Amino acid sequence: MTAPLSDTFDLADARGWWFVQRGREVLLDETGGVPCGPNPLLGLDPLPVLQVGEFDGIPCFAVELPLDAPFGGFFGDPKRLYDSLPLPARTPLSRALEVLEWDRTHRFCGSCGAPTEHRGAAIVRHCSNDACGREHFPRVSPVVIMAVERGEEILLGRSHHFPPGVYSVLAGFVDAGESAEQAVHREIFEETALTIRDVRYFASQPWPFPHSLMLGFQAQWAGGEIVCDPREIEDAAFFHVDRLPKTFRFSSTLSFWLIQDFCKRHGRPWPDGV
């Protein structure tokens, strides 16, 4: 991060991309995209603004707007915005959302309890207690997401909160002290009682809801029959590439890329989705 950052940064003349979050929503322009141009919040009481890098040579600003601020802009679902943006533009949105989440949840030092503060050029909150002096940086939470294959079949499962009939590849958080590969083996075994082999890295993506880093893997079934853990998933099964169930069609997600890659390698079209 090379750009300046300050709680009192004078933004009266600032032009840039404006990532303005209010509650669970983000400010959109008239086309449903990220506002780009002069500060859309001029006229309101000054708010802390974080400069979170640049996109296309234009600075990116992240602002948290209080729910009761008298502002009449149009707001929308950040997940829908994320899905609608081209791949490169998802990076500044991810960074803005994750930095805002970190900023709002690290106002006090987790070590000594004193207030924290920004001190200039970096995305870091400093403990105001000189005897402590800890620095708090944004953290990401790694999640593994994996396509387990058995010949022309792929393992898919569904959570209790999925729409009816919709399945996806399995996923889970990496535990403290664990490698991503270990997490892949553990999650599959915990959720389905299956063992797997040939775990290979596929791709990664930021998932700023609120601060995950998705790590995608492909693996082969090694043994066992599926026994679902009902605390984790409602159902799981191997589906033949010609008989796939409904899956999520958000093209921005690793689950989409993994299933798409599986279909492509077997020479099949993308299945029906939701």
User: Stretches 112-120, 150-158, 187-195, 211-219: which one binds Zn ion (CB under 5 A)?
Assistant: 112-120
**Minimum distance between the CB of residue 119 and Zn ion, rounded to whole angstroms?**
14
Q: Is 111 in the site for Zn ion (CB under 5 A)?
A: yes
Which has the closest alpha carbon to 61: 30, 86, 32, 97?
97
The reply on whether position 228 binds Zn ion by CB under 5 A is no
Q: Which stretch binds Zn ion (CB under 5 A): 47-55, 130-138, 175-183, 223-231?
A: 130-138
Helix (H, G, I), strand (E, B) or coil at 249: coil
Cβ closer to Zn ion: 133 or 151? 133
Provide the 3-class DSSP secondary structure of residue 252.
Answer: coil
Smaller CB distance to Zn ion: residue 58 or 112? Answer: 112
Give the nearer residue to Zn ion in terms of CB position, either 114 or 193.
Answer: 114
Token couple for 120: 């200039």
CA angle 136, 1, 18 (to 5 degrees): 95
Minimum CB distance to Zn ion, residue 106 (Å): 11
Task: State which residue, 119 or 134, has the beta carbon closest to Zn ion.
Answer: 134
Number of residues forming the site for Zn ion (CB under 5 A): 8
Specify whether the CB–CB gap between 170 and 247 falls below 8 A: no
Category of 177 on φ-ψ map: left (φ > 0), alpha (ψ -120 to 50) or beta = left
C-beta of 112: minimal distance to Zn ion in Å? 3
Nearest-approach distance from CB 115 to Zn ion, in angstroms: 9
Helix (H, G, I), strand (E, B) or coil at 202: strand
Asked if 132 is part of the footprint of Zn ion (rule: CB under 5 A), the reply reads yes
The answer to whether residues 222 and 197 touch, using CB atoms and an 8 Å cutoff, is yes
Q: Which residues contact 32 (CB under 8 A, 6 or more apart)?
A: 76, 81, 84
Q: How far is the CB of 128 from Zn ion (least distance, A)?
A: 8
> Quick check: 129 binds Zn ion (CB under 5 A)?
yes
- Choose, by CB under 5 A, the member of 42, 58, 69, 112 that binds Zn ion: 112
- The least distance separating Zn ion from the CB of residue 103, rounded to whole angstroms, comes to 17
Of the CA atoms within 13 Å of residue 55, those in its CB half-sphere come to: 25
Of positions 109, 184, 213, 244, contacts Zn ion by CB under 5 A? 109
Residue indicated by tokens 């590439």: 241
Element housing 75 (H / E):
strand 74-76
For Zn ion, the closer of residues 127 and 144 by Cβ is: 127
Of 11, 93, 127, 244, which one interacts with Zn ion (CB under 5 A)?
A: 127
- Whether residue 207 contacts residue 168, with contact meaning beta carbons closer than 8 Å, is answered with no
Q: What are the residues binding Zn ion (CB under 5 A)?
A: 109, 111-112, 114, 127, 129, 132, 134
